[in-house]
Amino acid sequence: MKKQTRSILQELNTVYRAKDLDHIVEAKGSNIIESAINLLAVINEKYDPETAQELERRFINSIRNGDSKKFKTGIKKIQEGESE
């Protein structure tokens, strides 16, 4: 029976994947956090303090609960209020 060996490239590829996954998690996390910070800045510029605080609360709760519906509902309520 022939012994199965792995090439150096295969070994390096498995090591690279583990490090690459850590890098991906770090990069995506940083990008998401920066985007959230920018979004909250836009919300604070566009809306009055009370509305901005409500949207910020809904945004954070949506992330915490893994459900974007509450944030979307808050935006829709504001848009409906502006159109009336």
- CA 3 distance to own-chain centroid: 46
Half-sphere exposure of 80 (CA within 13 A, CB side): 6
pTM: 0.69
pLDDT of residue 4: 63
* Six token digits for residue 8: 């150096």
- Whole-angstrom distance, CA of residue 54 vs CA of residue 52: 5
Q: Are 19 and 32 in contact (CB under 8 A)?
A: no
pLDDT of residue 24: 81
Q: What is the mean pLDDT of residues 9-17?
A: 69
* Per-residue model confidence as pLDDT tens digits over 19-70: 677 788 888 999 999 999 999 999 999 999 999 999 999 999 999 999 999 8
